[in-house]
């Protein structure tokens, strides 16, 4: 990083404060305010709209140009030419694997796909209609109770083993959530299958009947994983980093990330987008919902539209849209009412002044919800699938932070506007 200076002038009788400006390889420079608290000031930035919370080499986003790079590689090229496990290797290690490295990595992940048999009994404690994200928060966090040999966060080998276990076991645990919710027996992973194929098999096969996942749908599932693998310092990744900064074990940190992802403003948007399309129900009701979305007194928002960073098209949405069409063609749902509503909603929103001025474009969640529905996956499982994919991003950021020599516990401060100091009033004296 190169640096140059900024001068902060607070007031006529106060000395200006020199602040370093640091330049990265891409994107905005940052003003280093680490020393400001010693001068008696905090910065104020609720929502972190203007805050770089860390330095990272993993993912770069340009919201105005609609650019998303994983370790420098454009998401469009990775989605088209790579596969999810190769992207996992890239995010974890910083470089694309050689053929031998890729083969070894896939084998290693496959060695960790089974969940400890006793984890199966966890599920019996949940109601069958429990939201699968509630189950995943619980079960993933509980992995720390089983894998004591990968909890020492200062041991690089423990960190690597924990990363492999989490990437490998998320599909197994996710499929167990689904099977439990429909009262079917759990399916074991089949290590001769690819990552996405294995997941779809665990979701839709039964001991009584093996389904051979359709290659077009399997490729679409793998691409959905790639598109959702990482996204810089989003809310759930920032949650994982903050949890990790306390020294919490990786399973607890990923469980915290799953909890944060669940929100409808974040990873829960794909489920919310599909439920919204179902609520709209017919094309002639779209205008009513667009009006509601534009009404400042109505907190209804068009789920699957808008983004904190992308004020241009979400590059993932372009790829997701193509994948969505491929899947709908393959399963013969292109003329489904739901998709017709989605297409019309997309068209109206892209032409509506409100959405154009506020730069609200369809994001990845708008199309992933429809695609996952066409794959036969119930809406409650959509965010679980997002969590499967984002686990590699979360654990890569966690590892980047823990392996950097100067990381410290995250502890933001505040602008206090509460009561000034006052004395306690005994209850008999209170009015
Ligand atoms: C993800 O951060 C990431 O990287 C996240 C993610 C990832 O991969 O990790 O990309 C995944 O979370 C994608 C986003 C999924 N969320 C949704 O689709 C939910 C619907 N979208 C909104 O809730 C909203 O757009 C956010 C939360 C995504 C972004 O919110 P911001 O950046 O805080 O923007 P904002 O709420 O300040 O909105 C700006 C204006 C507001 O109007 P004004 O107050 O200026 O008058 O746009 C309006 C909002 O009311 N607005 C919308 C809208 N989104 C914003 N109006 C109608 N419908 C919407 N969807």
Q: Which of 112, 131, 228, 307 is catalytic?
A: 307
Please give the share of the chain, as a percent, with pLDDT higher than 70.
99
Please give the share of the chain, as a percent, with pLDDT higher than 90.
85
Please provide the average confidence, as pLDDT, over all residues in the chain: 94
Closest CA to 350 of 307, 312, 315: 312
* pLDDT tens digit sequence for 228-263: 999 999 999 999 999 999 999 999 999 999 999 999
Alpha-carbon distances of 256 from 115, 175, 178, 194, 404, rounded to whole Å: 20, 20, 21, 28, 21
Is the distance from the beta carbon of residue 363 to the nearest atom of ligand 1 less than 6 Å?
yes
Closest residue to atom 33 of ligand 1, CA basis:
308
Give the nearest ligand 1 atom to 230 CA.
8
307 is known as an active-site residue? yes
Cα angle: 420, vertex 426, 427; to 5 degrees? 110
Q: Supply the pLDDT for residue 309.
A: 87
Closest residue to atom 4 of ligand 1, CA basis:
234
Is the distance from the beta carbon of residue 308 to the nearest atom of ligand 1 less than 6 Å?
yes
* pLDDT tens digit sequence for 402-428: 999 888 999 999 999 999 999 999 999
Query: DSSP string of 123-167?
Result: HTTS-TTS-HHHHHHHHHHHGGGT-GGG--TT-HHHHHHHHHHHH
45 is known as an active-site residue? no
Closest residue to atom 2 of ligand 1, CA basis:
234
pTM: 0.94
| DSSP, res 3 | E
Average pLDDT of the residues in 116-135: 95
Pairwise CA distance, residues 193 & 383, whole Å:
23
* pLDDT tens digit sequence for 346-373: 998 889 899 889 888 888 989 999 999 9
* pLDDT tens digit sequence for 309-331: 888 889 999 999 999 999 999 99
**Band (3; pLDDT cuts 50, 70, 90):** low
Q: Supply the pLDDT for residue 68.
A: 97
Is the distance from the beta carbon of residue 292 to the nearest atom of ligand 1 less than 6 Å?
no
Is the distance from the beta carbon of residue 240 to the nearest atom of ligand 1 less than 6 Å?
no
Q: Supply the pLDDT for residue 129.
A: 97
365 is known as an active-site residue? yes
């Amino acid at each position: 990083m190169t640096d140059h200076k900024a001068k902060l002038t607070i007031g006529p009788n106060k000395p200006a404060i020199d602040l370093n400006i640091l330049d990265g390889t891409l994107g905005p420079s940052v003003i280093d305010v680490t020393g400001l608290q010693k001068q008696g000031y905090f910065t104020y930035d609720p929502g972190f709209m203007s805050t770089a919370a860390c330095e990272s080499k993993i993912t770069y986003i340009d919201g105005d140009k609609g650019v998303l790079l994983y370790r420098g590689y454009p998401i469009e090229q990775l989605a088209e030419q790579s596969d999810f496990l190769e992207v996992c290797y890239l995010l974890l290690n910083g470089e694309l694997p050689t053929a031998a490295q890729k083969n070894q990595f896939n084998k290693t992940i496959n060695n960790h796909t089974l969940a400890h048999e006793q984890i199966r009994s966890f599920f019996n404690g949940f109601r069958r209609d429990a939201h699968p994200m509630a189950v995943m928060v619980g079960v993933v966090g509980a992995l720390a109770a089983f894998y004591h040999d990968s909890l020492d966060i200062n041991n690089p080998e423990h960190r690597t083993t924990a990363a492999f276990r989490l990437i490998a076991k998320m599909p197994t645990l996710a499929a167990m959530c689904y099977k439990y919710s429909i009262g079917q027996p759990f399916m074991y992973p089949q290590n001769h299958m690819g990552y996405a194929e294995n997941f779809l098999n665990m979701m839709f096969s039964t001991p009584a009947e093996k389904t051979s996942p359709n290659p077009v749908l399997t490729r679409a599932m793998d691409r959905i994983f790639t598109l959702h693998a990482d996204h810089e310092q989003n809310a759930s990744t920032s949650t994982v980093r903050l949890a990790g900064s306390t020294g919490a074990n990786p399973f607890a940190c990923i469980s915290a990330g799953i909890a944060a992802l669940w929100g409808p403003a974040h990873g829960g948007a794909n489920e919310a987008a599909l439920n919204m399309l179902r609520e709209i129900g017919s094309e002639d009701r779209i205008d009513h919902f667009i009006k509601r979305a534009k009404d400042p007194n109505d907190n209804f928002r068009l789920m699957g539209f808008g983004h904190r960073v992308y004020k241009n098209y979400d590059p993932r949405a372009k790829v997701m849209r193509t994948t969505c069409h491929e899947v709908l063609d393959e399963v013969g749902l292109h003329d489904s009412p739901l998709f017709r509503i989605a297409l019309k909603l997309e068209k109206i929103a892209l032409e509506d002044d409100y959405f154009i001025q506020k730069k609200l474009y369809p994001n990845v969640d708008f199309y992933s919800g429809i695609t996952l529905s066409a794959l036969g996956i119930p809406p409650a499982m959509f965010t679980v699938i997002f969590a499967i994919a984002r686990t590699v991003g979360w654990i890569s950021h966690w590892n980047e932070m823990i392996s950097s020599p100067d990381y410290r516990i995250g502890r933001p401060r505040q602008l206090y506007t509460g009561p000034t100091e006052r004395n306690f009033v005994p209850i008999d004296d209170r009015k």
